[in-house]
Structure 1
Amino acid sequence: MSVDPSAIPNFGGKPERKGPPQQAGRPTGPIMPNQELVKQLLDRMKLKHVVDKEGDLVAPWKHHRVYFMFRGEERQRVLTVRTFYDRPHSIDDKPRLLQAVDEWNHSTLWPKVYTHTSDDGTVRLIGDFHLLLGAGVAFDHFVASVVSWVRAAGEFDKWLVERFGLEKDEEPEPGANGAAEGSADGSADRGAEGSADGDGDPRDAS
């Protein structure tokens, strides 16, 4: 269903107007989220986004990209929010990467992070969130989940930078003009190294 942007809560900064929140047009029952609704949420968060050649919505940053993928039919329909962390690591780094993501997964709710190794031995990290849509979800729950997931995706990248002493980047926070300049030009079409270097599309990993 299409949702009027005015019904989407303010995600930070100054309120648009004084007085009680406007409830007119706000969904009161379960909704069936779609790509258009996610676009409206990203616009509201001031995050750049594109639709890639596979038809999936992606919000890109300098070192990670968040994909929003709808899969399945009817009551089996699932929204997968999958983040590709683009910093490359060597195969020799994999043991410490596994130790790090094990620590992260044990101590946090999301994203659940795992490694993806290309044929050339390059190792990258992928983070996942899944929401079973079933017969519909509450509007407020969906909005809060998407906002939390997008922010958590960035938090993991910061955590890994600090954990491994990687070079930090000066780039805006999600919700404050979000994605890095020049990254939302359609170049973020696929997963790690374009098509996972012949390993199949890791976006469809279970």
Structure 2
Amino acid sequence: MSIDPSSIPNFGGQDPEPTGPAGSVVIPDQELVKQLLEQMELKYLVDDEGDLAAPWEEFRTYFMFRGEGEQAVFAVRTFYDHEYSVDEKPQLHEVIDDWNRRTLWPKVYTHTHDDGSVRLIGEAQLLIGLGVGLEHFVSSTVSWVRASIEFDKWVGETLGLEKDVEGGEDGGAESTDES
């Protein structure tokens, strides 16, 4: 199972080499996602729980597989680092409700930690248990990554958060550990 590079948007790197037939139906796995991230020239790591993560300066995007058989799901979940107070939660709900109404993904929600801090999480999911078209999987995953980046920019602009913008659109995912 390999990725058709013509279905991957160019993020400024070299064009990947052609590797497989278009129209293939696959059951995606972590190795396929690693290959896709490498072709997108995104650095990644494998966390202690075995999930792939691509770290940016202001957030981390995880690529997770959950469930088995027909119920297997692929999820792309982004954890945004900016902390908010519980008092800011009503304003956050208004802002993310606006995002969720106007966009397909990622769907964003709040998470309140035990210490009272509030963070935003974005998520998109795809049922993969019966297989999925390879081109659909690739284009969906790439779109979800780009939308996660766009949400980070959008919420910062919408809430008036100052950012030190260096490193371009991909945020320069910082470390790799491909073990």
Q: Work out whether the TM-score is over 0.5.
A: yes
* Distance in 2 (alpha carbons) for counterparts of 1:29 and 1:62: 35
C-alpha displacement of 1:130: 0.5
Distance in 2, Cα, partners of 1:127 & 1:72? 20
Residue equivalent to 1:158: 153
Whether 1:40 and 2:35 are equivalent positions in the alignment is: yes
Secondary structure of 1:89's counterpart equals: coil
Answering whether residue 5 of structure 2 is matched by residue 8 of structure 1, we say yes
2:137 counterpart letter in structure 1: F
Residue 142 (structure 1) aligned to one of 137, 143, 150: 137
2: CA distance between counterparts of 1:147 and 1:127?
A: 15
Residue-by-residue CA offset, 1:91-126 (whole Å, 9 max, x unaligned): 111110011001110111111000000111100000
Matches within 5 A, 1:17-166: 25-166=20-161
Counterpart-to-counterpart distance in 2, 1:149 and 1:68 = 11
1:184 matched residue in structure 2: 175
Asked if 2 retains the 8 angstrom alpha-carbon contact of 1:57 and 1:67, the reply is yes
Higher relative contact order (CA 8 A, sep 6+): 2
| Alpha-carbon spacing, 1:117–1:16, altered in 2? closer, same or farther (3 Å) | closer
Conservation of the 8 A alpha-carbon contact between 1:65 and 1:85: yes
Q: Are the equivalent residues in 2 in contact too, given 1:8–1:41 (CA < 8 A)? A: no
Q: Secondary structure at the match of 2:26?
A: coil
Unaligned runs of 5+ in 1: 187-206
RMSD (Å) for aligned C-alpha atoms: 2.1
- Paired residues in the alignment total 174
Q: Share of identical aligned residues, percent?
A: 54
State the secondary structure of the residue aligned to 2:131: coil
In 2 relative to 1, CA 81–14 (structure 1 residues): closer, same or farther, beyond 3 Å? closer
**How many Å apart are 1:135 and its aligned residue?**
1.2
Q: Which amino acid aligns with 1:47?
A: L
Give the distance between the partners of 2:64 and 2:39, measured in 1 at CA.
19
Runs of 4+ in 1 over 4 A off after TM superposition: 13-17
Structure 2, unaligned runs of 5 or more: none
- Equivalent residue for 1:173? 169
TM-score, normalised with respect to structure 1? 0.78
How far apart, CA to CA, are the structure 1 residues paired with 2:135 and 2:164?
Answer: 33
Change (3 A) 1:184 1:15: closer
3-state SS of paired residue (2:82): strand
Contact 1:59–1:179, Cα closer than 8 Å, also in 2: no
Where 1:46 maps in the other structure, the secondary structure is: coil
Cα distance in 2 for partners of 1:15, 1:84 equals: 29
Alpha-carbon shift at residue 169 of structure 1 (Å): 2.5
